[in-house]
Amino acid sequence: MPGPWRYCPNCSMPLTTKMDGGRDRIACPDESCGFIHFGNFSIGCAGVVIRDGKALIVQRGIEPFRGSWQIPGGYAEADEPILEAVEREVREESGVIAKVRDVVGFRHSVGGSIGGPATNIYLVFRLDYVSGEPSDEDSEVMGAGFFSLEEMEEIPGVQGLSKWAIAKAMTADEGIPGLTPDTLAGPVRPGFSIFGVGGFTEQA
């Protein structure tokens, strides 16, 4: 049996495989149960916060990549709206309070390409600075501060994806925002967050 799955998490039957969606998948043989394992997935989020022409970055205090610098971010909890998740991660890792403006980009990595077993999508938001000074009090962080892109070139270990995201956020045309929280679609299901080009800045 591939992977760590051996017994059905729903009914405890020994798992087998079945063809579903054009590929073999780990599945429960009990048709009345119907469990199929579609893989492990995670959602990451990070925030670019700019103040006085400089962007907020933090130095990782844990592995992997301990000592490197990046924009603050982490994983969204399973029951957490994505806007709350990125604002929380920025606040927890840096002590800075900021509010989401828009999405400047995203990265998708397939099955373990970033060191873990999960396929991951990583959304990068641009946030407006509200208050607070950078702090390294969080146990996962060794340092924090606002730096220009030029200053970052002199700092060892600033991650390339973070510099890319900061450059995107800094050079974005104010008249053409990224994907913004959008209410144009009208009422949506509870728990949904909708983003669109030219959307409204009010959360759906």
* Confidence at 203, pLDDT banded by 50, 70, 90: very low
Residue with tokens 């959304």: 123
Residue 61 and residue 29 share a domain: no
Q: Does some domain include residue 204?
A: no
Residue 119 and residue 23 share a domain: no
Q: Does some domain include residue 197?
A: no
Position with higher pLDDT, 84 vs 192: 84
Domain count, the chain: 2
Structure tokens at 153: 């070139």
Q: What is the mean pLDDT of residues 45-70?
A: 94
- Beta-bridge partners for 121: 43, 108
* Confidence at 84, pLDDT banded by 50, 70, 90: very high
Residues spanned by the domain of 152: 41-173
Residue 146 and residue 97 share a domain: yes
Bridge pairing between strands 23-27 and 54-60:
unpaired
* Confidence at 114, pLDDT banded by 50, 70, 90: low
Residue 126 and residue 30 share a domain: no
The number of residues making up the chain comes to: 204
For residue 126, pLDDT over 60 is answered with: yes
Position with higher pLDDT, 50 vs 190: 50
Q: What are the Cα distances from residue 146, in Å, to 14, 82, 100, 150?
A: 53, 24, 18, 12
Residue 34 and residue 88 share a domain: no
Position with higher pLDDT, 177 vs 146: 146
- The whole-model pTM stands at 0.81
Mean pLDDT of the chain: 86
**94, 73 contact by CB (below 8 A):** no
Residue 76 and residue 22 share a domain: no
**CA–CA dist 136, 168 (Å, integer):** 26
Residue with tokens 């079945």: 18
Q: Does some domain include residue 31?
A: yes
**104, 126 contact by CB (below 8 A):** yes
Residue with tokens 């800075």: 96
Q: What is the mean pLDDT of residues 169-182?
A: 74
Residue 127 and residue 26 share a domain: no
For residue 95, pLDDT over 50 is answered with: yes
State residue 183's pLDDT score: 63
What Rg value do the Cα atoms of the chain yield, rounded? 20
